[in-house]
Amino acid sequence: MSTKIFPCPVCKRKFASMESAIDHVDDAHEYCCPKGITVKQWIFNVKNRLNPANKYGKSILSGKPTNWNEKLGRYDRLADDKERVAFRKLFVQRMMKTHGKSTLLNDPDVQKKMLEHRKISGKYVFDEKVFPYTGSYEFDFLRYMDVVLSWDPNDLYMPCPIIVNYTSPRDGKIHFYIPDAYIQSLNLIVEIKSQENQHYRKRDLDIELAKDAAMRKMKVNYVKIYDKNYEDFLSMLNSLKQ
């Protein structure tokens, strides 16, 4: 795993974390940061060749101003909750148009299929937003996003709003499945898996590879988390943020 470097926009001194770079700018170059924005926001503006005093982003749907998100270190992609709902509907419509046999998540038959083989389920409350989870691995992922990364819950969808169609190597027919999670700001699908039971994994490896092949054809980013090991996930986050 490569080490990420965070340079100071003023003196080009390099730091191992964004927090260290912010502390440095706050101490050594405070005069550079315009009033009304945070140091992290100013660093983002300079790095992305925006006006250093820029306060707002632009909605990918309407072009309306969007707020700065200090937790994520970037501007929101959508202006408000209304646009988030519209974006989700539009995304599902596009997937249905492209892949033909998609099924909406609010279909009770789909929900039943998602849960019928999972006995451990519950709800995780994340900054007043409620996420359903099925199994300890999904619960651990939600807790990691909340407690460790302090992620914006409005940027996270569980289950994923994208339905993936794949051709089964066993019967040659088109099947669909719903990935575990989706991070909207990074267009990132996350699959949360266990490798502990090697018998079942070897048995279903051909199906997993077929799903991977279908995912590679889509215009999304994709990462798997195995056995609560978040190293590859963090590497993907750092790569996409850059």
Q: What is the pLDDT of residue 200?
A: 56
How many CA atoms, within 13 angstroms, populate the side-chain half-sphere of residue 195?
Answer: 6
| Tens digit of pLDDT at every position of the chain (242 positions) | 345 688 999 999 999 888 899 999 999 998 899 999 999 999 999 988 899 999 999 998 899 999 998 877 889 888 888 888 888 777 767 656 654 544 444 454 455 555 544 556 788 988 888 898 888 899 999 999 998 888 989 899 998 888 888 888 888 888 888 899 999 989 999 999 886 555 556 677 888 889 988 888 888 899 999 999 999 999 999 888 76
Q: What's phi and psi for 220, nearest 5 deg? A: -140, 160
Q: What is the pLDDT of residue 229?
A: 92
Residue 116 confidence (pLDDT)? 47
Structural domains of the chain, with CATH: 1-50 (no CATH), 81-241 (3.40.1350)
Residue 105: closest CA among 60, 173, 157: 157
Determine the pLDDT at residue 162: 85
In 3D space, the residue among 51, 98, 59 whose CA is nearest the CA of residue 76 turns out to be 59
* pLDDT value, residue 218: 87
pTM: 0.56
Report pLDDT for 102: 45
Give me the pLDDT at residue 118, please: 52
Q: What is the pLDDT of residue 95?
A: 59
What are 214's two structure tokens? 């279908």
22 contacts: CB under 8 Å, gap ≥ 6: 39, 40, 43
Helices 18-28 and 39-47, packing angle to 10 deg: 100
Name which of 45, 63, 61 is nearest 53 in CA terms.
45
pLDDT value of residue 157: 92
